[in-house]
Chains A and B, each alone.
Chain A
Amino acid sequence: MSSSTNGVRGTGSRLAVDALIDDPKTRIIVCCGSGGVGKTTTAAAIGLRAAERGRKVVVLTIDPARRLAQSMGLTELDNTPRVVKGVTGDGELQAMMLDMKRTFDEVVLAHAEPERARAIMENPFYQSLSAGFAGTQEYMAMEKLGQLRAAEEWDLIVVDTPPSRSALDFLDAPNRLGSFLDGRVIRILTAPAKVGGRSAMRFLNAGMGLLTGTLGKIFGAQLLTDVQTFVSAMDSMFGGFRERADRTYQLLKAPGTAFLVVAAPERDALREAAYFVDRLAADRMPLAGLVLNRVHGSGAPQLTAERALAAAEALEENGSEHSSPEAELLAAGLLRLHAERMQIMGRERRTRDRFVSVYPDVPIVEVPALPGDVHDLDGLRAIGDRLNGAA
């Protein structure tokens, strides 16, 4: 964790999104952050802006809101990038929604003979693993990212990350899946003969009996057999999951990758963002900056919440000499809304300043809040403008 040692509060430099997306060396932008902070919208807006500034872009979204997906023409979940219509300029925008099951199937199909692939895909354990394993979505998002990058069809890939409580899940889950499949229980179950020397064997056999016995009682022998068959098939197929997970992980450290941490000016979201910033630094992954979404502003900051409230109360209680009662109520309403806005702004600023004082070197861009949801390209364009400083 970096912090300012001289006691001077950092102001946080401004994140230049256009400079990032215009740089031809930027090949991958990963938008990460905790759930509900507008990651998908940010990813889509950045993709659209980059395309309209001339780049050939693909946006990989994970779980977009229905209307946002429709705005990009994503009506089918077919795991293939589709051209987004209505994009202006010389660039091109394609977008896709991740289908984790299908992505997993593709991995299997790409690495196994057709017959063997079918056997794996029919394995009941594989089916539950590919459809619902905690971490499969993150793993497959990375897998898909690797595929898109390898295809060399686009010069910029913008990735949205799965909605999870913790932003770190995106980085951790693939490894977790890898270490599970490479874990000791699996090793013991699938290859008992290979483990240890003679003296260890007796102990292990006793342990094995206990292990398989207990597992068998709980899960039934069938499930265990399914797991064993699946793991050995996968293992011989491409040398271990962990290796594969490592390889996709390395891609994130490669030159040309930039992370954007997305947050809202709220305590929990910024705490998650802070964890993520620390983690990126620890893993030497390139952080481009923090996108602070839904920041409130006001055109009349000179009028404080206190004065506005006092004036509203005065109007409501005492009325005024010359204006109509209706105008008094309207004026009081305007003032109450302004007071509320100023209070929100104060809270957001304090939350932001706490982050900045701990991470003075992280460039930040604040994106003003929109009153409604984004559900068309114009809405995304407006976000893109705001990402670059338009109010």
Chain B
Amino acid sequence: MARTPGQAARRDPDWEGVRLHVVSGKGGTGKTTLAAALALALAADGGRVLLIEVEGRQGIAEQFGIAALPYEERRIASVSRTQLGLPAGEDGPGEVLALAIDTEQALLEYLEMFYKLGRAGKALQKVGFVDFATTIAPGVRDVLLTGKACEAARRKGPDGRRRYDAVVMDAPPTGRITRFLNVNSEVAGLARIGPIHTQAQAVMRVLRSPETAVHLVTLLEEMPVQETVDGIAELHEAKLPVGGVMVNMVRPPVLDAAAVAAVDGDHREDVALALGEAGLGGRSRKAETVRAAVEPLLDPLLEQAREHAERVELEREQRADLQQLRLPTYELPLLGEGVDLGGLYRLAGELKRQGAA
């Protein structure tokens, strides 16, 4: 189902109707980057999108090159179709807001709402209550975090319309995502009545609805692909809505094994000739001198091509495993110099072109 990058025709996005996009992935695959890119892509048609971070890492701030985010919804970017390299549409630019959820403050806010603690809340904070609470029942923290995302996704403005067209959550990694989202069973051991339970059930209803999609970010390498396959099976089992697979840092195949074999075999002299004519043989006009100058390059270049072909083959296997999942799949290119702000908009453009937004 992978679409070739560069397909420019405007098409219906794959996640029409989804309000809450949860982005997970193995550590090191670029989950935060792609969550940010997806938020930009979703906002490009004039929408308002909220990007939420839950792990207290300030990864969003780092990604956008801004100061650390406070615990409030704050505008961090505006985005238009042309900025993503797409033909302009009828709508004006959209905007992305960001929220870095602070668990401690969220819990106190929550207790305040239901128990009217007043100054006692401060005292609880002092004796390390919040630490204690989230330690003996990590589910409580997860309910707070997912609850905040669900609330934002369903919040309505004074005009009665949704405040956000979409909410994107930079979620915990694949290995923990199902537990994190499956809040109902996480708090099952807790008090059976009371606001946490009611909240967990409300959250679960939103998370299991068609308004939510859980996307997984991977690389074309053994471990991340395996984790993606396992993670999707777990999500299915927990009846959580599986979204798409985002394959990050894809490098275009330049030469395959057959090409390498050709250079190594019959075509060696011919390739040496081409390299010489491309100016790599020095200035001499004598064929033998040029050939001799090219010679020390040939084996190293071949060796690099061989390694490349081997990797292309491994990637082909991993891609085949991903295709077995039969999910919408998006491929994002490796950006040579790392992902700066420009790179982020480029990835957002790719996601939009490929139908993820």
Contact = CB atoms under 8 A, between A and B. Distances in A.
Contacts of A183: 128, 131-132
Given A219-B191, A330-B263, A330-B271, A299 B278 contact: no
Chain A interface residue bracket vs B: 35 or more
B128 A334 contact: no
Interface in B12-43: 26-28
B304 interface: yes
Given A311-B278, A323-B273, A218 B302 contact: no
B129 A185 contact: yes
Contact of A331 (B111, B251, B278): B278
Nearest to A343: B336
A218 B136 contact: no
B138 A132 contact: yes
Contacts of A77: none
Interface string B182-195: 00000001111010
A188 interface: yes
Interface stretch (A111-119, A206-214, A240-248): A206-214
Contacts of B115: 214, 217
A229 to B, nearest CB: 13
A315 B136 contact: no
B158 interface: no
B222 A65 contact: yes
Instruction: Give chain A's interface secondary structure class.
Output: helix
B226 A66 contact: yes
Contacts of A133: 135, 138
A222 B188 CA distance: 12
Given A211-B129, A218-B194, A330 B314 contact: no
A377 to B, nearest CB: 17
B304 A220 contact: no
A218 B190 contact: yes
Contacts of A58: none
A341 interface: yes
B310 interface: yes
Contacts of A299: 299-300, 303-304
Interface string B232-265: 0000000000000000000100110001001100
A327 B274 contact: yes
Contacts of A67: 222
Contacts of B336: 340, 343-344, 347
Contacts of B54: none
16 contacts: A66-B226, A128-B189, A180-B132, A185-B127, A185-B132, A214-B124, A219-B137, A220-B194, A298-B300, A298-B304, A300-B296, A303-B280, A320-B274, A328-B274, A334-B301, A335-B301
Interface of B: 26-28, 55, 57, 111, 115, 117, 120, 123-124, 127-129, 131-133, 135-138, 140, 179, 189-192, 194, 196, 221-223, 226, 251, 254-255, 259, 262-263, 267, 270-271, 273-275, 277-280, 296-297, 299-305, 307-308, 310-311, 314, 336-338
